[in-house]
Amino acid sequence: MRLSALGQIADAEWLKTPGLRPDMNLILGKYVIMPDHFHAIIVIGPNSFNRSGHTGGGRFGPQRKNLASIVRGFKSAVTMYARKNNITFDWQTRFYDRIIRDDGEYDRIEQYIVNNPAKWLEKYGIK
């Protein structure tokens, strides 16, 4: 997949993600930036925000130090670049997340990401 200027910014911003949140112990897995969407695996390792037994007291608190905040920060950085450079595009309003529960599921999702560009090209009849 050849990335547009905005795709290159999305790539750079995604790669910066662990460095921007070192306290979350993030590991980037396979990812792909497509012309009209993005797929990624991200591992949120053990950290003080997701320790075992921490329930947050049953209250809805600030949405930070979680997957939603990671996605929000990524989307925000790409959007700011696009606006500064008069690039028109829209994000999906939501994102699909899934907890990967075992190695087999991880392998299947990773393979889906790796194969996504070829499937997209096939879908749109591009050679």
Q: Where in the chain are the domains?
A: 5-46+64-123
Instruction: Give, in order, the Cα–Cα distances in Å from 54 to each of 27, 50, 51, 111, 123.
Output: 22, 7, 6, 33, 45
Percent share of the chain, pLDDT over 90: 61
CB 117 within 8 A of CB 35: no
Could you tell me the pLDDT band of residue 92, with boundaries at 50, 70 and 90?
A: confident
Instruction: Give, in order, the Cα–Cα distances in Å from 53 to each of 11, 19, 43.
Output: 35, 27, 19
Decide: pTM greater than 0.95.
Answer: no
pLDDT reading at 8 higher than 60: yes
State the chain's mean pLDDT as an integer: 88
Q: Considering only the top CATH level, what class is 5-46+64-123? A: alpha beta
d(CA 32, CA 22) in angstroms, rounded, equals: 22
